[in-house]
Amino acid sequence: MKKTTTRLADGRELIYYDLRDDAVRGERDPRPLDPVATAAEIRHDRLLGDSVAIASHRQARTYHPPADECPLCPSRDGRLSEIPAPDYDVAVFENRFPSLAGDSGRCEVVCFTPDHDASFADLTEEQAALVLEAWTDRTAELSQLPGVEQVFCFENRGAEIGVTLGHPHGQIYAYPFVTPRTARMLTSVAAHREATGGNLFDETVADELADGRRIVLEGEHWVVFVPYAAHWPYEVHLYPKRRVPDLLALDDAARTEFPQIYLEVLRRFDRIFAGRGGGSGAVPGGGSGERADTARTPYIAAWHQAPLRAEHRGDFALHLELFTIRRTSGKLKFLAGSESGMNVFINDVPPEAAADRLREVASE
């Protein structure tokens, strides 16, 4: 892997991650861009104890552009984009419309492939491994920024999720605080340790393995399961079998196996609703093979890493949570009164049934 760091016309950082060590990245961004002006600030909710990012400048962000105006495609044929190169493997750059900026953190965009009509599930294992390297490297770099407390790598896919750019990409947020969801996990883990002396993450994984009904996929170094109290209709958690706090701590064996496991899970997600009313329809721009025959399931994929300065940081378990808001073909799971008003989820799909379906659609 070769890493090349450069700057866009407005001063934002751009990093290329290339599979080939002899890749040369000398392209200049010729666009006449004004410096990025942000209005991001963090406000604290005294009653709930959490933080809210106020970012009014995001109202002007690019919204569902046509494919030939995609800002995440390479710059080709006289059309300029956020990536000056005519091709790339993986590219990461500072978001032009960040939710967090300056003393309030940092937001980056991760472009998984130059192929506008592809998806993460279409990547080769080598390409997926490169994305993992990029996530890991950015976690290391962002962790060194002053004031950053937690690094969050994630992907939103599908218009139903709220994605405004169709190009396959994810994001990385460097928060200046510990997120509420992580804080709740840490509280539960600390209480369990004090009561039993054990690690709640370890016991959760062990209990799922012993039960077996919700196991979707198991490798030598990773296990994938639908959680016992899944919030979403189809939700899986991916854990390395050796507990580590973050991406940096994964060993070579886990890194090697991850692309095999993750790509298979993503491809199963795209088959959940296939043959059940058409799901989201044919893949735009799809050619021959699986891409053309598969309905794309909208999803969120979220890496959970330990906060940088958490007490008993080593007790935290790195894991990835993948879920879809679609509950059946043509029907979405909306966060209505109970979920949005009281944060009490109501799941229409039993976790055991979701696990059965995800095993049923395994690759041959």
Looking at the fold, whether 45 and 123 belong to one and the same domain comes out as yes
Look-up of token digits 């400048």: 57
136, exposed or middle or buried, with CB in 10 Å at 0-12, 13-18, 19+? middle
Q: Is 221 annotated as a binding residue?
A: no
pLDDT tens string 98-156: 999 988 999 999 999 999 999 999 999 999 999 999 999 999 999 999 999 999 999 99
Range of the domain at 241: 180-360
Q: Please identify, among 115, 150, 175, the residue that sits at the C-terminal boundary of a domain.
A: 175
Q: Is 70 annotated as a binding residue?
A: yes
At 235, the pLDDT band (50, 70, 90 cuts) reads: very high
d(CA 298, CA 355): 18
Look-up of token digits 């959490």: 50
* Residue 174, both tokens: 């460097």
Active-site residues, by number, are 169
Q: Given this model, what pLDDT does residue 271 score? A: 96
d(CA 328, CA 336): 17
Q: Would you say 113 and 63 are in contact if contact means Cβ atoms under 8 Å apart?
A: no
What distance lies between CA 11 and its chain's CA centroid? 26
Q: Which of 33-47, 98-112, 221-235, 313-327 has the lowest mean pLDDT?
A: 33-47
Looking at the fold, whether 336 and 235 belong to one and the same domain comes out as yes
Q: Is 192 annotated as a binding residue?
A: no
The sign of the torsion formed by the CA atoms of 45, 138, 81, 282 equals negative
Looking at the fold, whether 223 and 88 belong to one and the same domain comes out as no
DSSP 297: P
Looking at the fold, whether 223 and 162 belong to one and the same domain comes out as no
Q: How far is CA 249 from CA 142, 227, 253, in A?
A: 16, 24, 12
pLDDT tens string 276-326: 543 333 333 333 333 333 469 999 999 999 999 998 899 999 999 999 999
Q: Please identify, among 156, 175, 194, the residue that sits at the C-terminal boundary of a domain.
A: 175
CATH number at residue 188: 3.30.428.10
Looking at the fold, whether 157 and 202 belong to one and the same domain comes out as no
Looking at the fold, whether 140 and 241 belong to one and the same domain comes out as no
Q: How far is CA 355 from CA 101, 208, 300, in A?
A: 39, 12, 18
DSSP 177: S
- DSSP state string for 303-350: EE---TT-TTGGG---EEEEEESEEETTEE----IIIIIH-----SS-
Whole-model pTM: value is 0.93
**Cβ contacts of 9 within 8 Å, gap of 6 or more:** 29, 30, 31, 32, 33
Looking at the fold, whether 79 and 212 belong to one and the same domain comes out as no
Looking at the fold, whether 152 and 259 belong to one and the same domain comes out as no
Looking at the fold, whether 26 and 138 belong to one and the same domain comes out as yes
Q: Please identify, among 175, 196, 215, the residue that sits at the C-terminal boundary of a domain.
A: 175
d(CA 234, CA 314): 29
Looking at the fold, whether 119 and 79 belong to one and the same domain comes out as yes
Looking at the fold, whether 267 and 299 belong to one and the same domain comes out as yes
Looking at the fold, whether 232 and 134 belong to one and the same domain comes out as no
Question: What's the number of domains the chain is made of?
Answer: 2
Q: Is 312 annotated as a binding residue?
A: no
Q: Given this model, what pLDDT does residue 276 score? A: 58
Q: Given this model, what pLDDT does residue 58 score? A: 86
